[in-house]
Structure 1
Amino acid sequence: MRQTKIDEFLQLENHNKELEKRVKEEVAKNREKDKLLFQQNKMAALGEMLSNISHQWRQPLMEISSIFLPIEAKINMDIPLDNQELLNSIQKLNDITKYMSNTIDDFKNFFLKEKEKINFEILEQINSTVNIISSSLKQHDIKLDIIIQKNTHMLGYKNEYSQVLINILNNARDVLIQRKIQNPKIKITISENKNDIITKIEDNAGGIKITPIEKVFDPFFTYEKINGSGIGLFMSRLIIENNMNGKLEVKNNKDGAIFTVIIPKS
């Protein structure tokens, strides 16, 4: 009887050792899988960043081209160039190239948590952002209204805030053009309440005609966009939620779509 118990104990001990060995092997396999998954995620993130840099740069490059074209035309036709016109063009080019340089820095640091937030004036940043895309809006006779209920300051990443604005404005512009809207308009409204700073961007393009409307934030969703990458609004929501602790919402009104950026004051 005693020998039987000893045998059972030894069997159990061997079984436990075998089980422990298998557990260690599975843990090691899972760690390898985790490493592989981490590398895959890293490569996917890198690809995503490169795609977004391309997306972010496309419009500024078009703006640069639109600035040079009238100057080149006047030179070819021996039309005198006004000094103030040249200075204004140079200033716009400086703003665009500075934005493009800042975009590289922003995307390079996108996944780093130690980035430092700064306190910036919202009106100044909106004006800087609008300057970058103003030529394309004028080209398509799109009226832009900016309503600042209070010129407040925001604590955050000002260039990423600009990127979100440009993504939303570009989407509104593209839909207005695509649908051939008469008297196309975009309105930016800045307001605040006790806890948040609120940026609303509205258009009169007729609204987003999908259900649920939140699908516009899905990666690679390109509803009604020609040659769109489908990453602009997806990245915009990531920037607002992950980097600025805020919310990016969308809804329709009777005239079109309203995108609302909500950033907490503290």
Structure 2
Amino acid sequence: MTEYELFAVELAREAARVSLPYFRGACEQVDKGGADGFDPVTEADREAEAAIRRLIADRYPEHGVIGEEYGEDRPDAEHVWILDPIDGTRAFIAGLPLWTNLIALRTADRLAIGLIGQPYLDEIFLGGPSGARLLRGRAETPIAVRSCAHLNEALIATTDPDLFTGAELGAWTQVRAAARLARLGCDAYAYAMLAAGRIDLVAESALKIWDWSALVPVIEAAGGQVTNWRGEGPDAGGQILAVGDARLRDQALVALRRAAN
């Protein structure tokens, strides 16, 4: 592994150390959603991001950080770490092991390293210059997307169709009707399963930069693709399409483009 890949794993281990003791235990939470609906944040979210930020500041004080809980610090730096300390907080507070720690490194405006960690399952999905692999305990296993030429053969996923707008929901419904099987509620863990060759397509909307940045290097290193709903690179619009087999992209975009922002 490269220096920064090793450091990303170190950050994931620290995030796991802080967040895991709160899982299925006492954990203070508040609702930051207001009139827009329930959007919980817990002390595990805040403490995990704070711990990651401390390690970055100690090791690489010149690096920038963008995090969900504590905002931006030197976002124009050459190296910027992008953090979602707990993606899937709803799953976390429900006791479901589908939440993840998301860590990405952007270098010179390019996403160079991504990491999806699931501490309860002792899994770290890492993508970067050294390829894509699953770290579990002391074992490292290469991972790769699987072949799936046709949408009617695909297993697809999204977190919750209720999160789509009207036009987006119509587009998702069309993609789902064409697919073989759809799974819901997996948050970022669905992207890890795509990189590992278990899921073929994931479509979501309203994602923030910390929600999707870590996913891109993992999936690309595993041989997949991540775009927006116009078929271009992911952007601030927050509509994400991830596919393991590039042949699925254009099939899904027939529907998704109609609702692209």
Give TM-score scaled by structure 2 length.
0.32
Q: Which has the higher strand share?
A: 2
Give TM-score scaled by structure 1 length.
0.32
Q: Which has the higher helix share?
A: 1
